[in-house]
Amino acid sequence: MKKISLLLLFLFIITSCGKQLSENEKIYYNRFISYRQKKDSIMQFSPDSPFNKKGKVEFHSLNYFEPNVDWVFYSKLYEYEKKDTVTVFSTKGDERKNIRYGYVLFEKDNKTYKLNVYKGFSKTGEEYYTCWFTDLTTGKSTYEVGRYLNFKKHPDKEHIYPIDFNYSFNPYCAYTKNYACTIPLKEDYIDLKIEAGEKKFHN
C-alpha cells in the first residue's frame, strides 16, 4: 500500500505540472520507487549497514532527486588502450590502487561528457568495476566527496550499457565518518549539474 501511495503521489505531482507520462515512464518510476524502498529497508535493518555496523547513526529515509528519465543514457564501453594503474585516496587518507579501464560517453544539452570506468579488486581478490564522479551539485545539494555508480561489465565488446544517474549513490562515509571511501579524482569531475540520484543525507 505504501509503495502504491508513493507512486500515485509522484504521478500526481508530475501530471499536475503538465507532463504526461508514457506507459514506459510509469513502469520506470514504479521500479525506481521500489528500489528506493528496498534500499531504505536494507539501510535501516541490515546489521551490515552503516547505521548499524560502525557506530549508531539515527536513520531516516535517504534523500533523492525525483526520478527523471532525462538522466538515463546509453553508451558502449570504450576501453583505454593503455590501462594505467592510478592512485586514489580515501576520506581517511589511505592510498588505493585502481585501474583506469575505460569510459562511457553521454550527451546532455548538445554537449558530450565522459565518465571513467575503474577496475578494482576486493579484499578477497574478486574484480569489480565502478564509476565515481563529482559535478556542479557536489557540496551543495549532494555529498561533498562525490557520488558513485555501479557498473557491471558485459563480455560483449559491442554491448550498450545504460548509464542511469537516477541510481547514483553516496558511499557509506556520507552517513558516518567511521568509513573510508574513495575520493573521485579531478579528472572525474563532470561540468554539469546532475540533479539525479541521491542527495546529501546530513543537512
| pLDDT at residue 4 in the model | 39
| pLDDT at residue 19 in the model | 61
163-172 pLDDT, tens digit each: 999 999 999 9
Look at 53-67, 81-95, 101-115, 154-168 and tell me which has the smallest mean pLDDT: 53-67
DSSP state of 64: B
Given a contact cutoff of 8 angstroms between Cβ atoms, the answer to whether 20 and 69 are in contact is no
- pLDDT of residue 60 exceeding 70, the answer is yes
- pLDDT of residue 3 exceeding 60, the answer is no
Provide the whole-model pTM: 0.87
91-127 pLDDT, tens digit each: 999 999 999 999 999 999 999 999 999 999 988 889 9
* Rounded Cα distance, 122 and 22, in Å: 41
CA 108 vs CA 70, 113, 143, 192: distances in Å:
9, 8, 22, 9
